[in-house]
Structure 1
């Protein structure tokens, strides 16, 4: 699960979420876009799908609601009516894809609604325009993510032809991509190439994680049965990741929830002893 986040509203998070998801779907990895911006739920409009069923309805297994797909085959989960009223961890476990990557379209700001998705994510991609205030807010979001133990894979800078060294340095991102200004960015070939590049970052990250998990399995002398890559809907107990070749045992929702709680506990321990780097709370700095 990857959060598409940035502190400033209107910087292009929703467009970036959908653009990356479509690139992942086209590459064969698979993408599911989940709107977590209950205040400004725009993902379903941009994807041209219905507002119903939202995230909360999909959590209810007895409701029989199905996840929609847009015209490119990307699975779209519209935003809940109110994020605060939802058990976000359990909800995201319920809609986590068995195959592919889930992308969170995160709210703007640094309040609880913006920080909650970061706690559930396994990695973050920052989004900002090249304007100073937008870069500053995105940099704060990056520091907040790192304080929670969530790695930043890179930064997408919208409405510009190039990313300056100063902007890249402020965002502390090893990888950046510039998205040029276009009237219809999701249908522009140049913009699609940029989102394909970001999908490549994600594929590399998946491969690295697969190698790390395989090494951990070898060190613990755990015997894992390797089967053919699972197709969508397959209920095999274990499978080989179709994009990285690493072993990814199928897990129940209870096991995923336990793993998520353990990960949050490790992040909390890692964050102890740090102090706030800006007044108002939220982002934490690694400085002592």
Structure 2
């Protein structure tokens, strides 16, 4: 399980979680991307707004208790409980929504249960809350490693370093950094975080995941992740 974490909101964390998930799918891997930011969930919305694949639909049986709007979605909670099986699909990620009533559930337990029901050879990405808030502790404790996401702005870098420190304390060391909205990355970034730069996502249009250069950047970051961590773990080309 990989936590996708960052500093301030708007750093590109959710875009990176979905961008990496789609990049793994392009390499033929079965992928699960789950929204772990339960107070401000937007992974589903981003998946819907940026085309195929959209968020994973709920079955009629599970749509009743947690339906929101006209299109109910499979949630992290229902998959973790075993009420919704994880489909095996090597061409599109499974995208899971946050629970409708998050404060009624213990996030750490849900993420741990989710890890148990997702196959070990499947990349599982958690889109974490922004910054170093208390809510980020649950996904960081549950995950094995994390990927840090930050633009090259001083306040964002400072907050991302705080998040990296918390992640290491919780036993979730960073595999690397994805630098967003940047035309170049100085060597000092790797030194600052104590881990490699996995990729650089260029500035783009208001819909980054529709940009071919952004897609290529996430393909490169996914390749770096496979080489650094997933080659012997994930079912991936």
Normalising by structure 1, we get a TM-score of 0.66
Which residue is 2:165 aligned to? 143
Which residue is 1:206 aligned to? 230
CA displacement, residues 64-109 of structure 1 (integer Å, 9 cap, x when unaligned): 4455899x61101101235443233442344332141100000013
Higher relative contact order (CA 8 A, sep 6+): 2
Give the one of 189, 196, 200 matched to 2:212. 189
CA distance in 2, matches of 1:163, 1:38: 31
- Structure 2 unaligned residues grouped into runs of 5+: 49-54, 56-70
Q: Secondary structure at the match of 2:104?
A: coil
Moved more, 158-167 or 8-17: 158-167
CA distance in 1, matches of 2:107, 2:39: 15
Which residue is 2:100 aligned to? 81
1:59 lines up with 2:80 in the alignment: yes
Contact between 1:7 and 1:134, CA under 8 Å: does it hold in 2? Answer: yes
Which residue is 1:242 aligned to? 235
Contact between 1:145 and 1:152, CA under 8 Å: does it hold in 2? Answer: yes
User: 5 Å matches for 1:114-193?
Assistant: 114-183=136-205, 184-193=207-216
CA distance in 1, matches of 2:169, 2:152: 24
CA displacement, residues 259-285 of structure 1 (integer Å, 9 cap, x when unaligned): xxxxxxxxxxxxxxxxxxxxxxxxxxx
RMSD across aligned C-alpha pairs, in angstroms? 2.4
CA displacement, residues 209-260 of structure 1 (integer Å, 9 cap, x when unaligned): 65xxxxxxxxxxxxxxxxxxxxxxxxxxxxxx6349xxxxxxxxxxxxxxxx
Normalising by structure 2, we get a TM-score of 0.79
- Residues 68 and 186 (structure 1), Cα distance of their counterparts in 2 relative to 1, 3 Å cut: farther
- Structure 1 unaligned residues grouped into runs of 5+: 211-240, 245-288
Contact between 1:163 and 1:177, CA under 8 Å: does it hold in 2? Answer: no
Q: How many residues align?
A: 210
CA displacement, residues 166-188 of structure 1 (integer Å, 9 cap, x when unaligned): 33332222224221111122122
